[in-house]
A and B are shown apart, each in its own frame.
Chain A
Amino acid sequence: MKNIIKLISFLLISLSVSFSSANASSGVFKLSHDLGFGKDTNLDAITKGRLFQVVIMTQNRLVRKNLKGVTSAELATDWSGNADATEWTFNLRKGVKFHDGSDFDAEDVKYSLMRVKDPDIGSPAKKSMSSVTDIEIIDSHTVKMKLNTSFADFPLLLTDYRLRMIPSGSGDTIGKTGIGTGPFIVDKFDAEGTTILKANPDYWEGAPGLAEVHVIAIPDGEARVQALLTGQIDMNRYVPFAQKKIFDGNSKFKTTVVPTGNWRGMVMRTDTAPFDNPKVRKAVRLAVDRQELVDLVMGGAATVACDTPVAPSDQYRLNMKCPQNIKKAKKLLKEAGYPNGIEMTIHVSTKEPTWPTIAEVMQQQLAKAGIKAEVKMTPSKSYWKETWMKKAVAMTRWNERPADSALHEIYHSGAKWNESYFKNPDFDKNLANARGELNFNKRKKAYQNAQKTLWEESGTMIPYHVSKLVVTSSKVKNLDEVEVFSVRWHKVKVD
């Protein structure tokens, strides 16, 4: 009898141990980043050097997109606008704590969002908050945002991946601490080495499935693929489609194709000859065969774009056709005073693995219109600092943003990241009109007019929006098959 009691006790203890361990965070998930901003890399989401791979796991937004791409609650539980959409009231989630133990409340919301407008910080996300004039604290968990214009899509703007909530007054230290309300806590920040995150057991959506996340700096694209193959990292969201065959049929890896609004492109500085002439810019864009680029570079896994940064799934996207037209390209060059064509140097690097290939294919396509393009490699580590926005023609890449953010940030005459130095009063006016227009159809028309202007005059050639090939180790479970900013990281597990 004594032995039976002992046995039952042992079984009960074993069961309880295994039950508790099944619910605990366990396993290490390793991923990489490209150290795009070198030593400026930090954990302050609103700065240029933000390390988004870490920030998206440690800090939350007020509003996010759900897995179907629809605006949904994150730290705000619900919201409503006044009749003319100039004031928006957000109710905040209660009982949420920051990693330093302090409570999340309305003060933090006001502080986090208003500092985006601070001219001393010079945040690239400033445009997303430009319409907000004040944030009024109604009570500890309610805020009212006052806008200088009607903005029917304002909550959509708050899904911007950089608008993260941090503790009030933490602006001076947030770049190193990364303190937020997210599922992971920064344990060690080493931008040029390995940043270590630990599970936040008090996360408001439940304890994460992982014990740790390691974010490793690997600047070169090819090296990141090799790191995945050798098991140094568990996920690579930037594997070129040409390399899909390496992973297909290999039981150690899982490949997923995720359509996105991310794009690669080529920037021509509109303040630099000969690209200061809109006809030259349009000639270059007309000389490009976008479908051929999609086929050769992406293996068909992309959606052709006619120089609009707006995602294919976005309600404001202007869908049009833009086939290669060599005859018209030559005509425009002649009208611009270049009957014998032009010469240009396309600056690339391996920071984005597909850039050299895109440039090499375009080189052949442009030659048909008399445009002689040289492809010049530049160091990948300093690309964003020394090449992008510096050279007359350089490759670029952008992640998906809501239509309003994308159009404002990349093309508005006052935008910090106006990479082509594009200045067009009509374009700016269309954006302003769209923001203030409560009627959806009229608002859509204004956004689409702005995109038409881009097709006619912009300095950025956007051939396609990529479908992303995400390759993970087969050990990784519960990873949502959506773009990176919508992934629910607390659910991810590693066997």
Chain B
Amino acid sequence: MATKTVSEFKKKNIYFKISEVLVTMASKPSGFIGLSILVFHILLAFLSPYLAPYDFKAIDPSLMLQAPSSEYWFGTDSLGRDVFTRTIMGGRIALTITFFGSLIALLWGGLLGIFCGLVGGKIDDVVMRIVDAFLSIPWILAMLLIVSLLGTSTEVLIPALGFFYGKGIVRVARAATHDVIAKDFIVSARARGHGNLSIIWNEIIPNVRDAILVEGAMRWSWMLLGFSSLSFLGFGVSPPTPDWGLMISNARGLMSFAYWAVIAPIVGLSSLIIGINLTADAFAKALGIDRSTKAPV
């Protein structure tokens, strides 16, 4: 019988746990639906450039505001562009920016929260008051200021969204750390002479990881809504990039007679947000976290 190294064992354990969580999530109807919608949107984001029947930016005065037909399934917009093409491509940028934004939010918010929870004292006080101060600033105003000054490129939007949505994670991570640091294994780790970094990496993160990941998943859907709000206001992606928020903004004035131009992006955006929310809920339940009693701050 071949012996396994510790790292091989850990790796197999992680794969096992992931598959176990996924199976648990999919076993509930809401989790299955959420996962299916999310996977569908992710696949669409990857494949839409190959599936799109028309050029997303091709304008044509002779095709303005055509109603849905066999040729243009979702009709055309006010510039004669195919709404189906733009809808299936409309989530690519939003998904990419908010996914990486959420990762940044998880990383800095989670680590800072754990650090504050562990060290406590004045450092904790000062950092948390600064976080409180930032939490009091309406994120949309702050984001508008940032994109007005620095532009709306991906390099600006990802870190900016990651920063603003990470503030809430700091509180969740800190609270979860407080639950853990009083436990005996932390005391014994200290008694063994382990430093803060070692305790964070080996003892705290494995125990607060699930709570932070669930929080991150929820933040993702909020960030998606936030990013689409920016696009709706014209401060997200720049035209002619297809984006649901921008499409809704452009077509909202035509809603009473060209409903197709606005309904398609609304369905795209809302289905993705519902999918992420259902998935995050199922994820929390699969990990044994009760979000109804441990609501995010």
Report yes or no: B239 in contact with A296, Cβ–Cβ below 8 A.
Answer: no
Judge whether A350 is part of the interface by a CB distance below 8 angstroms.
yes
User: What is the 8 Å Cβ interface bit string for chain A, positions 209-230, against chain B (1 contact, 0 not)?
Assistant: 0000000000000100100000
CB contact list, A338-365 vs B, under 8 A = 348-350, 353, 356-357, 359-361, 363-364
Report yes or no: A364 in contact with B234, Cβ–Cβ below 8 A.
Answer: no
What is the chain B residue whose CB lies nearest that of A348? B234
Report yes or no: B253 in contact with A296, Cβ–Cβ below 8 A.
Answer: no
User: What is the 8 Å Cβ interface bit string for chain B, positions 54-78, against chain A (1 contact, 0 not)?
Assistant: 0001110100100000000000001
Least CB distance from A249 to B in Å reads: 10
What is the chain A residue whose CB lies nearest that of B153? A374
- Selected from A245, A353, A376, the residue in CB contact (under 8 A) with B238 is A376
| Given contacts A242-B253, A243-B253, A378-B148, A350 and B234 within 8 Å (CB-CB) | yes
Report yes or no: B80 in contact with A296, Cβ–Cβ below 8 A.
Answer: yes
| Given contacts A292-B61, A296-B61, A296-B64, A375 and B253 within 8 Å (CB-CB) | no
Report yes or no: A376 in contact with B152, Cβ–Cβ below 8 A.
Answer: yes
Least CB distance from A445 to B in Å reads: 36
| Given contacts A243-B253, A246-B256, A295-B61, A374 and B238 within 8 Å (CB-CB) | yes
| Given contacts A240-B253, A242-B254, A246-B256, A364 and B148 within 8 Å (CB-CB) | no
Report yes or no: A360 in contact with B144, Cβ–Cβ below 8 A.
Answer: no
Judge whether B252 is part of the interface by a CB distance below 8 angstroms.
yes
In whole angstroms, what is the CA distance A210 to B148 when docked? 44
Residues from chain B with a CB closer than 8 A to the CB of A363 are 239-240
Report yes or no: A360 in contact with B61, Cβ–Cβ below 8 A.
Answer: no
Report yes or no: B61 in contact with A377, Cβ–Cβ below 8 A.
Answer: no
Number of B positions contacting A (CB below 8 A) = 25
In whole angstroms, what is the CA distance A375 to B64 when docked? 21
| Given contacts A296-B64, A377-B233, A364 and B240 within 8 Å (CB-CB) | yes
Judge whether B79 is part of the interface by a CB distance below 8 angstroms.
yes
Residues from chain B with a CB closer than 8 A to the CB of A356 are 234, 239, 250
Residues from chain A with a CB closer than 8 A to the CB of B250 are 356-357
- Selected from A245, A364, A377, the residue in CB contact (under 8 A) with B59 is A364
Judge whether B235 is part of the interface by a CB distance below 8 angstroms.
yes
Residues from chain A with a CB closer than 8 A to the CB of B152 are 376-377
Judge whether A379 is part of the interface by a CB distance below 8 angstroms.
yes
Number of A positions contacting B (CB below 8 A) = 28
In whole angstroms, what is the CA distance A349 to B235 when docked? 10
- Selected from B151, B235, B239, the residue in CB contact (under 8 A) with A360 is B239
What is the chain B residue whose CB lies nearest that of A365? B59
Report yes or no: B257 in contact with A245, Cβ–Cβ below 8 A.
Answer: yes
Report yes or no: B235 in contact with A361, Cβ–Cβ below 8 A.
Answer: no
In whole angstroms, what is the CA distance A225 to B151 when docked? 29
| Given contacts A222-B253, A296-B64, A242 and B238 within 8 Å (CB-CB) | no
Residues from chain A with a CB closer than 8 A to the CB of B256 are 245-246
Least CB distance from A27 to B in Å reads: 28
- Selected from B59, B78, B148, B257, the residue in CB contact (under 8 A) with A246 is B257
Residues from chain B with a CB closer than 8 A to the CB of A349 are 234
In whole angstroms, what is the CA distance A379 to B151 when docked? 13
Least CB distance from B140 to A in Å reads: 13
Residues from chain A with a CB closer than 8 A to the CB of B254 are 242-243, 245-246
Report yes or no: A364 in contact with B238, Cβ–Cβ below 8 A.
Answer: no
- Selected from B58, B235, B252, the residue in CB contact (under 8 A) with A222 is B252
Report yes or no: A359 in contact with B239, Cβ–Cβ below 8 A.
Answer: yes
Report yes or no: B148 in contact with A296, Cβ–Cβ below 8 A.
Answer: no
Residues from chain A with a CB closer than 8 A to the CB of B239 are 356, 359-360, 363, 375
The chain B residues found within 8 Å of chain A, CB to CB, are 57-59, 61, 64, 78-80, 144, 148, 151-152, 233-235, 238-240, 250, 252-254, 256-258
26 contacts between A and B (CB under 8 A): A222-B253, A225-B253, A240-B253, A242-B78, A242-B254, A245-B254, A245-B258, A295-B61, A296-B64, A299-B64, A350-B234, A353-B253, A357-B250, A360-B79, A361-B79, A363-B240, A364-B57, A364-B58, A364-B240, A375-B238, A376-B151, A377-B152, A377-B233, A377-B234, A379-B144, A379-B148
Can you name 10 extra interface pairs (CB under 8 A) apart from A242-B254, A296-B78, A356-B250?
A245-B256, A292-B61, A296-B64, A349-B234, A363-B240, A364-B59, A375-B238, A376-B238, A377-B235, A378-B148
The chain A residues found within 8 Å of chain B, CB to CB, are 222, 225, 240, 242-243, 245-246, 292, 295-296, 299, 348-350, 353, 356-357, 359-361, 363-364, 374-379
The 3 closest A-B pairs by CB, nearest first: A377-B234, A295-B61, A360-B239
